[in-house]
Structure formats: structure tokens, C-alpha cells
Structure 1
Amino acid sequence: MTADVPAAGVGRPPGGLPLTLAAVTGVQALATLAVLALATVAPTAADSFTVGAEMVGYQVSLIYVSAALMSAIAGPLVRRWGPGAASIFALAMSCVGILGIASGNLAVVVVASLLLGVGYGLTNPSSSSILQRVTPPARRNLVFSLKQTGVPLGGILAGLMLPPLTEAIGWQAAFVVSGGLIVLLLVLLLPLRARWDEEREPQRPLRGTMLSGLALVWRQPELRALSFMGFCFATTQLCLMAFTVTMLVQELHWSLVAAGGLISLVQACGAGGRVIWGMLADRLRFGIPVLILIGLLSAAACLVTAFLGPDWPPAAVVAVLCVFGASSIGWNGVFLADVARLTRREDVGLATGGALFFTFGGVVVGPALYSALYKLIGSYTLTFGAVAVFPLAGALVLLALLRRTRRT
């Protein structure tokens, strides 16, 4: 069942689409900054914890275990609290989490990582509920893709801000500065909350409905296929985001600042990719072929990355990783728009949370699997080559769905 016509004028947030899009994109960006902060400065922060830099993969996976569990129950929570309250709560958890990591205590880091996941798991169900109310169907892929640029924008901010701050004032103080940015956005969002939450259902019971998003996704073959694709693509995306800096520093012998600058450029290419893929999907009026193309490009980029080395010209390394970023970071907006397209308006939050449970599953598996494979292979670049199986599998599942759809 599709939901192509948002209710005109019902609960429209103040400022209409532009302000709403800017606000939810900001939430996505700063939540992502908090999630990626430790991975961005892993070669330096690892010394404080007396562990290897590759262990950050387990920390990232821990965040997304929590995010996956929160995503599975986020739909009913967003309906009950309202998407505005859910967005503000997400920012609060992001702030507490990044400040907890700044403590430098491993036990506190574990708890803080779980809180980061709680906040991150709420961002997409709440923002999808808000955007679906103000987005014309013909612009859905572009608008959702623009919102999803918050993820690479958060990565860009982490890559440009945290390494220089780490060298100037230390990584822990840099994390405190990041927490201050999150608090600032939280305060700015408070006046918007009342309008965002006009359609909330405060008396809605939670018991018996917490996993309804998963059930909704499982009932629809199209949503099941998209969710499997999300698992595969997210695995690749998080490996790129979590290990590129460490690969550049330890195997290609780049400086931390130069590696941080390149990961920011990679994230920028991901942001640009999201816009371009969204525009292409709107032009085709169908996102599945675009997602298949993204999967094939991501698999190819993984395989080329396996051959990177310190003797490669910097421009060639930049070119490879930029293509990698534009593909493996660029898929999310088209994915979320297709989930919304296949779902009734009132169930968008439920379906988004259910589909993202599987996406976060890939995020959990990806960094931890990468860390384990690295221990066996002994090379960051070659481990990226092994990761190519994931985007290829996601593309093949969607290709089978596309063929089945055309036959029917």
C-alpha cells in the first residue's frame, strides 16, 4: 500500500518544508558527529585507553546494537511522544554519550556508547514522520536524500573539526566542544516542538505494539527486500566511515590531519551523492534501479580500495575514496523514500523504524566483522576488498525484486 499524498495543512511545522528540512538535517548531522567522534580520532584516543586503534570497530558496533534495538521500538514511541520530543530526546542522548566518552574511562565509554545508540535510533523514525507531512510526493526522494545528507555532513564536521582540535587541546576537550554544539541545537529546536507534536497520541498504549514496525516490514515482500539491502549497504558504509582514517594513517602513512581532511571530503561526496541519487530516483519515479546501481558501484570501489598502498599518488587515493563515498554513503535517502512510498502515511514511523532495525543490524555486523577480518588478514586495504560481498549481495536482491515486479 502506498502513501503518496500527505495531508495538506494538517500539523504543518512552522516555516514549512525549508525550515523543517534544515532542522531535522541538523539533528541527523550532530547525532552522526557524536557517533563517529571516537572513530575519527581513534589513532590518538586509543593510546588513552591502551588498546589498538582497530578496536574502535567494536565501539561503533556497540552503538548500533543499541540503535537497532531502539529503532525496532521507535515507531510507537514517536507516535506517543511526538516526533519533536523524540528528536530533542535524541539530541540529549547524543550529548550525554559524547561527554561520557570524553571521560576516558572504558566502563563509562560502554554506557555512553549505548546512550549514543538510543539517540541515533530515534532520529530517522522521528524525522520521517515530520517530513512526510510536508513533502510533495514528486519531491520525496530528493527531500529525504537532502535530509540524509546530515549523516555525511556530521562526518565532515567530525573530520574537519576533531583532528585539529585534538592536536590543539586534546581529544577529550574536543569532545566537550562537540557536546556544546549539540546542546545549542537542542535549545534552538525547543520552539518548534509544539507544532511538530500536534499529531502525537499521548494515550497510545505501548504494550503489545513495540515490535509492530518489524511485523509491518516482514509482511511486505518489497519492504523485506529493501531491509535486506539496507543491512548490506549499511555494513559497507560503516566500514568506510569507521576505518578510513586508520587505514590512511597506519598503512598509507598519511598524517592524522590529512586523513581527517580526506574523510571529510569522502563524506562530502556522500552528501553530494545523496542529492544526485535522490534527483535521479525522482526523475525515474522509482528508486530500486538507482539503489542497484549504487550497490554495484560500492562493490567495485571496495575491490579497488584493496589495492591502495603508500606508493599510490595522493590524487589517485582521493579519487578512489571519493567514488567509494558517493556510492556507499549515498543510498540512504532513496531507501527511506521508498520505505515511505510503500507505507500508509500514519505508518511511516513504524515502517521506518522496522526497516532501520535491519539497517542497524548491518551497521553492528560491519565494524565488528571488519575488526575480526583485519586480525585474520592483517591489512586494512585487503579487508575492504573482502567487504565487497555485501553491496553486491544487496544489489542482487533488489535486482531479483525488480524482475519480479516487472513480471507482475
Structure 2
Amino acid sequence: MLSHPASGPNPAWQISIIFVLVTTTTIGAVVGTCGYLVPALAIATKDYFQVDAAFIGYQVTLVFGFGGISSLITGGFVARFGPGRIMQMALLVSAAGCLLYSVPNKIVLTLGSIVIGYSYGMTYPSASVLLTRFGNPERLNFLFSFRQASTALGAVVAGLLGPLLAITWGWQGAFYLMAAVSVVAAIMVHRICPFWDDLTDPDASISPPWAGVRIILNNRPLLMICGIGFGFSAVQVGVLAFLVLFLSEEVGFSLTEGGIALSLINLLGAGSRMAWGWQADKLRNSMQVVAVMGLITAATIAGFSFANADWPQWATFATLSLFGVATFGWSGIVMANIAARADPEKMAETVGGALGFMFSGAWVGPSVGSLVLQLTGSYRYVFGFLFITALIAAFLAVRISLQKS
């Protein structure tokens, strides 16, 4: 049975759920910023290498695709090395990826996308173990939603910082800075590891990458929930991958305005995640909340696909704001549902397997979107694909909602 590493009336502050929540969220935001710099600096990178938009779309695909692979692999290492040590390694890997991505060579840059993606998926199994261990089971939707806000916060920082540094220092400057930040954060995490890794067993067997997937496939409710996560992830990352490019090429936004738009929807997404999670904790069936989000997301994408240079800026920003509020809240609720159904002794493996499905969605969204864009030359067809995907995810949420009622 999992227990706290400190006992008595005054347990160590390092295991306070508030500290654990804020720290894991901050680590996730640092690693997330590194990943979201790729789409945030899409225009600058595209112009530097003289490549088309699809090339950047494939880089985003690699980031989130390898995030899924790393989540599958990392889940099996948590028991032996501890969640704190794994998060520290994620920060160091992220720093290495940023340095590789900043090299002005397309092959090395692509390798950087892979390494950044690998670091991106390493933090989730560890954070899930910590939140489930130290958090209140009745507040899991909120706790996981707060932690998942790190993704949106990372995108906000990338959207604001990336274009600014690209203008002043060149597009590599943002990656140099985040590499340094990641190393400093890794050094700070070292002091926390003894409190988070007290249950680490150096002799624990390392589960194979497919162990978590097998757990998911053998549990129909978990599999359906992962299907929802797959769909929403494809939609969320798919829109973000092409947002700045679409606004620049079709709507007439500048690079800075595109970065502001990217930051706006992610900032609203970060705040709305916690609101959605809080609401989900109040309901007996949190999948009802997810279904509502899916329907709003689909409607918003349908409307945004018709945006053009004739639209007033306020209308574009209003539509994107609604997208940010509706689309980002799913992940914390989905992860909380998975954690609540998982065997506590197999938490990391189960979460890793579930994340494999979700990161696969993050791979499919920009990848299929890039293919559609190459074949049709129109962003409207890309958004059409994402619209259908959002509807399917919403339908699955409705099904689970009805089954639970």
C-alpha cells in the first residue's frame, strides 16, 4: 500500500499536494514550452530553411509522436528509478533536444524534434503517480486538470517568447534559452528526489513498453476513454500545428499577431482546464463534461475554417477564444478517469499505455493534416478532417456517459 515518506503531525512540505501539484506542473510547462516552440516558430523556421508548411507540420508530428513512444517506455522505469528522477532526466533530455533543434541543418533539426518529443512524454507517468499518491481521490479531476494545464502554459510561453526572440536574436535564440532553463530546473529537482522516490526499488523489474498497452486493450472502459483522448489530442495538436501558418497565409496576421493568437487560446485553455476539472468533480459522471466540450470544439472548428482576411480581427480572436476554452479541458478529466480505474501498483504502466494512445492522436492530427494540405492545398480541408474527429470523440464521450448513468 502506498504511503507518505514522512509521518507524524508535520509531514515534509515536499510531499504536500500543493507543492507536488505546482512543481510537477512547472516541470511540465518547461518541457512543454520546448515542444511548442516548434509550431510557434513555424514561420521563422520555414523561411530560414526555405521549406513548405508541411515540413514544419511533420516536425510537430515527430515531437508528439515520440512523446507517445517515450510515455510507453518511461512508465516501466518509474518503479525502479522513481518519479522524481525520471522527471529530472526529462528536463535534461529536453535541453539536449533544444540544442539539436537549434542547429541550422534539417537532418539535425529533425533529430532535435525527436529528442524534444521524447522528453515531452517522460513527465506524464511520473506526475500521475505523484498526484494519485499524495492527492485526494475526490479531487482527481481538478488535480489532473491543473497538472495538464502545464501543456497550455508551455504553449503560451512559446507563443509569446518564441516570436519575440526570433525577431531579436534569431529563431535559435528561444531554443538556447529553454535549454538553459531546463538544465537549471533539473538541478533544482535533484533536491526533491529523496522525498518523491522513497518507494523506489532498485531491484524492481522494468516493464516492457507494451505492458501498459496490454492493460488498456484488456479493459474495455479504459480503451474507450483512450479513444476519446486519441480524438481530442488529434484535434488539439492538429489545430495548433497549423494555426500560425493559417493565420499568416490566409487571414493576413503577422508573425507576432499569430504568436499572440497561439498564446491566447492556450492561456484560456490553461484556465478553463481547472474550471472544467472542478466541475467534473462535482458531477457523478464527468464524461458528460467531456461530451459538451467535444461538441463545442467541433462547432468552433467549423466556424473558424471559414476565416479569411475580410474577417474583423475581433471575430477571429473571439472564435479562437471559444476554441481555447472548450478544447483544452479534456486531458485532465480523461487522465483522472484512467488513474481512478488503474491498479495502484501498475499506475505508471497504465498511464504510460494510455498516453501512448493520446500521443498517437497528437501524431495523427498534424501528420494527416500535413498530408491533406499537400494533396488539396487548402487549410479548409484540414479543418474539415479535425471537425469530424472532434465529433467522433464527442460521440464516444456520450456513449460512456450514458453507460455510467
**TM-score interval, normalised by the smaller of the two chains:** over 0.9
Q: How does 1:310-321 map to 2 (within 5 A)?
A: 310-321=309-320
Deviation at 1:15, TM superposition (A): 4.9
Deviation at 1:8, TM superposition (A): 5.4
Distance 2:202 2:209 in 1: 15
Deviation at 1:219, TM superposition (A): 1.4
Deviation at 1:113, TM superposition (A): 1.6
Q: How does 1:237-316 map to 2 (within 5 A)?
A: 237-316=236-315
Q: How does 1:144-293 map to 2 (within 5 A)?
A: 144-206=144-206, 209-293=208-292
For residues 119-152 of structure 1, the C-alpha deviation after alignment (integer angstroms, 9 at most, x for no partner) is 1121110100111111101211111111111000
Length, aligned pairs only: 400
Deviation at 1:47, TM superposition (A): 2.1
Q: Which residue of 2 aligns with 1:18?
A: 18
- SS of residue matched to 1:76: coil
What is the TM-score when the length of structure 2 is the normalising length? 0.95
**Where does structure 1 lack aligned partners over 5 or more consecutive residues?**
1-5
Deviation at 1:199, TM superposition (A): 1.2
Q: Which residue of 2 aligns with 1:139?
A: 139
Identical-pair percentage: 31
Distance 1:378 1:192 in 2: 50
Counterpart code for 2:312: P
Q: Which residue of 1 aligns with 2:79?
A: 79
* Counterpart contact for 2:84–2:126, Cα < 8 Å: yes
* Counterpart contact for 2:63–2:116, Cα < 8 Å: yes
- SS of residue matched to 1:199: coil
Distance 1:50 1:24 in 2: 38
Deviation at 1:67, TM superposition (A): 1.7
Q: Which residue of 1 aligns with 2:351?
A: 352
Instruction: Check 1:352–1:173 CA distance in 2 against 1; reply closer, same or farther (3 A cut).
Output: same
* Counterpart contact for 1:13–1:195, Cα < 8 Å: no
Distance 2:312 2:54 in 1: 25
Deviation at 1:264, TM superposition (A): 0.4
* Counterpart contact for 2:285–2:404, Cα < 8 Å: no
Q: Which moved more, 1:73-82 or 1:91-100?
A: 73-82
Q: Which moved more, 1:196-205 or 1:157-166?
A: 196-205
- SS of residue matched to 2:75: helix
Deviation at 1:174, TM superposition (A): 2.3
Q: Which moved more, 1:84-93 or 1:62-71?
A: 62-71
- SS of residue matched to 2:190: helix
Q: Which moved more, 1:271-280 or 1:176-185?
A: 176-185
Deviation at 1:192, TM superposition (A): 0.4
Q: How does 1:48-87 map to 2 (within 5 A)?
A: 48-87=48-87
Q: Which residue of 1 aligns with 2:372?
A: 373
Distance 1:159 1:174 in 2: 11
Q: Which residue of 1 aligns with 2:116?
A: 116
What is the TM-score when the length of structure 1 is the normalising length? 0.94
**Where does structure 2 lack aligned partners over 5 or more consecutive residues?**
7-11
Counterpart code for 1:9: H
* Counterpart contact for 2:285–2:401, Cα < 8 Å: no
- SS of residue matched to 1:198: coil
- SS of residue matched to 1:251: helix
Match status 1:102 vs 2:102: yes
Alpha-carbon RMSD across the aligned residues, in angstroms, is: 1.6
Q: Which residue of 2 aligns with 1:3?
A: none
* Counterpart contact for 2:24–2:147, Cα < 8 Å: yes
Counterpart code for 1:39: P
Q: Which residue of 2 aligns with 1:361?
A: 360
Q: Which moved more, 1:275-284 or 1:74-83?
A: 74-83
Which of 3, 9, 28 is residue 4 of structure 2 equivalent to? 9
Distance 2:281 2:313 in 1: 35
* Counterpart contact for 1:41–1:162, Cα < 8 Å: yes
* Counterpart contact for 1:239–1:366, Cα < 8 Å: yes
